[in-house]
Amino acid sequence: MSDSDEKLDESEKAIGYDEFKKRATAGKSRPKTALAPNSRVKHVIGVVSGKGGVGKTFVSSYLAVKLRRLGFRVAILDADVTGASIPTAFGMNDVKMFSDGVNIYPAISLSGIQIVSSSLLLEHPGDPVIWRGPMSSSLIMQFWSQVVFDADVMIVDCPPGTSDIQLTLMEQLPLDGLVLAVTPQGLVSVIARKAAAMANMMDIPVIGAAMNMAYVTCPDCHHRIYPFGEVDLDTLKQAQIPVISEVPFDPAISGATDRGAIEDLEADYLDEVTRGIIDYLRLEVPHRD
Ligand SMILES: Nc1ncnc2c1ncn2[C@@H]1O[C@H](COP(=O)(O)OP(=O)(O)OP(=O)(O)O)[C@@H](O)[C@H]1O
Ligand SMILES: [Mg+2]
């Protein structure tokens, strides 16, 4: 990629972290869809990426796990309606959301994370969900407005891309900020910039990025190998992304998510972004690990 390609054009230029911070509440002042009566969600963080398969679901679930370990009340809204995979990461494919006839409640993970997902509504969790965009958007907004949460932080696992559903989410949910999930190929950094620019236009700050599958660690000498080349963190910094966590390619991650044991994964991955969220939202940590 040439230098000029790497430069942000005027429309994409991010506005700086301080300015982003100031705008955090400006974005929130737009009319939003109301929560259910009795439902409480203090902060909402969207996890987004320009394309699929880069680790959004892993990042969403592990951020939730990390925040929960610190004692926060945490919810995950799985907004990837047709590719819902949060329940799999938490080993909750046999669990259902439930209703007492008046309210709808999220399913609760082993560590107490409140989870809503289209796959928690299916009779057979493996069934494909084939819906048009507007139906998916309205289901997500139903999750928001009809399920009773009690959360300090809600993490929204957004579907990949920058289409209709993402716009609905950004317009209708009171998102405090976004976390970008990216992998270190050049093309993805362009997409990350576009996602950051879109967030900028929508007045939603980018709190941080997870540079996923950035390297592998040699099991013998512990040397880091960068299969895509050394990660170009400067490109992301150009897009004014203040906190970046590098996450290696680690079979423990795919093992934990595929086995439904994300809550058992012990690693320092995503610590910088977790800390970035806490600082940005000015949260008081209930207790430490
Ligand atoms: N750092 C990592 N090391 C090893 N495996 C990983 C890592 N990150 C994610 N994976 C695995 O890669 C696959 C894709 O990750 P994930 O489902 O989180 O991506 P996604 O962006 O949510 O994909 P989709 O667009 O399909 O929703 C999963 O099997 C996951 O376990
Ligand atoms: Mg996913």
Enumerate residues 6+ apart whose C-beta is below 8 A from 235.
6, 189, 192, 193
| Ligand index nearest the alpha carbon of residue 181 | 1
Q: From the CA of 78, which ligand is nearest? A: 2
Cβ atoms of 185 and 109 closer than 8 Å: no
- Kindly state if the Cβ of 68 falls inside 6 Å of ligand 1: no
* pLDDT number for residue 32: 74
Question: How many other β-carbons are positioned within 10 Å of the β-carbon of residue 268?
Answer: 10
Is 227 close to ligand 1, i.e. is its CB under 6 Å away? no
Site to substitute for ligand 1 among 162, 212, 217, 254, most atoms within 8 A of C-beta: 254
Q: Structural domain boundaries of the chain?
A: 3-281
For ligand 1, atom 6, the nearest C-alpha belongs to: 254
Spatial distance between the Cα atoms of 113 and 74, rounded to a whole number of angstroms: 5
> What backbone torsions phi and psi does residue 102 show, to the nearest 5 degrees?
-110, -55
Give the type of residue at 99.
Answer: S
Phi then psi for 280, rounded to 5 degrees?
-60, -40
Task: State the pLDDT at residue 24.
Answer: 42
pLDDT of residue 22: 46
Q: What is the distance in A from the centroid of ligand 2 to the CA of 61? A: 10
* pLDDT score of 195: 65
Question: Could you give the C-alpha distances from 20 to 15, 27, 153, 226, 255, in angstroms and in order?
Answer: 7, 10, 19, 32, 37
Does the C-beta of 53 come closer than 6 Å to ligand 1? Answer: yes
Q: Which residues contact 236 (CB under 8 A, 6 or more apart)?
A: 180, 182, 189, 192, 209, 211, 244
**226 in Cβ contact with 215 (< 8 Å):** yes
Distance (Å, rounded) from C-alpha 276 to C-alpha 179?
10
- In this prediction, residue 12 carries a pLDDT of 36
Which listed CATH number (3.40.30.120, 3.40.50.1100, 3.40.50.620, 3.40.50.300) goes with 3-281?
Answer: 3.40.50.300
What is the residue-level pLDDT of the chain in tens, covering all 289 positions? Answer: 333 333 433 333 433 444 434 444 444 455 578 898 899 999 999 998 877 889 999 999 999 999 999 999 999 999 988 778 999 999 998 888 888 877 889 999 999 999 999 888 876 666 666 666 667 788 888 899 999 999 999 999 998 776 677 777 888 899 999 998 988 876 656 666 766 676 777 778 889 999 999 999 998 999 999 888 776 677 667 667 778 899 999 999 999 999 999 999 999 999 999 999 999 999 999 975 5
Does ligand 1 lie within 6 Å of residue 240's CB atom? no
